Amino acid sequence: MNDDSIAIAENFPFKTVSDETAESGLGLLQRPPTIPDYLQDTYWWAYLHPKSLWFFEREWVVNLILWGNMKKLTNAVLDETNFEQGSEVLQVACVYGNFSDRLASHLAISHSKLSIIDVAPIQLRNVKKKLDDHDNVSVHHQDSTDMLFANDSFNHSVVFFLLHEQPEEALRKTIAEAVRVTRPGGKVVFVDYHGPHRSNPMRYLMKPVLTMLEPYALALWRDALTVFLPAEIRQEQISSEFYFGGLYQKVVLQL
């Protein structure tokens, strides 16, 4: 365990790699996940720098970045998460604003539990503090491309605006991991960017912005998210919806 992980484990009781390893009974020594290069190089200013939390952790900022669509896109997820009583639900990666708060409250109605993973300790500390009053939430230090959870650990999974930040290889692995840890019969819900219609002016406004700030997002403009799904997913298991002239997409897999 590196120094940062030790400090975090002492001050914030989120689950570290050694906890997960002990609980799984594997008895193997696992290294804590390291910050991926793409996150360090491209997104240090948004997720790793202490000032990033100060700036981005406000609902109006997140809403502005999503052109006023935060509520609509959060509701698009909540519409899919009227789960059976006592479900175990995974949220892959932390999100600024009140997305996780709303998801945790929504799941509490069905006495369901929410497990949140993230690779960045600073984000885990923040989410832990933010969701402290929810007793159905646990947070875990894990990498979305190589989770420590056993196969079929969760009833359902949610991946909200993570994929566009990842290079294609990591994006494919994240999708495959979300499918792997979700049980047959469950749902995997993705919400992310999508290439807008040619008639949508956002196409011309957002392309240079994303090229400069979020270059990996352009893979989701070029190809439908469904292109990156594992081969075993059949067409009839997939449903897609689009928002804001096609700038955003929701893809739901029924496993």
Ligand X SMILES: C[S@@+](CC[C@H](N)C(=O)[O-])C[C@H]1O[C@@H](n2cnc3c(N)ncnc32)[C@H](O)[C@@H]1O
143 binds ligand X (CB under 6 A): yes
Q: Which of 119, 175, 247, 251: binder of ligand X (CB under 6 A)? A: 119
Q: C-beta of 75: minimal distance to ligand X in Å?
A: 16
Report the distance separating Cα 231 and Cα 234, nearest Å.
Answer: 8
Q: C-beta of 43: minimal distance to ligand X in Å?
A: 7
178 binds ligand X (CB under 6 A): no
Asked if 84 and 10 count as a contact pair (C-beta separation under 8 A), the reply is no
Q: C-beta of 148: minimal distance to ligand X in Å?
A: 12
User: How many positions of this chain bind ligand X (CB under 6 A)?
Assistant: 20
> In the stretch 48-87, what mask flags binding to ligand X with x, by CB under 6 A?
--------------x-------------------------
Q: C-beta of 235: minimal distance to ligand X in Å?
A: 27
Asked if 197 and 245 count as a contact pair (C-beta separation under 8 A), the reply is yes
In the window 183-222, what residues touch ligand X (CB under 6 A)?
none
120 binds ligand X (CB under 6 A): yes
94 binds ligand X (CB under 6 A): yes
Q: C-beta of 182: minimal distance to ligand X in Å?
A: 16
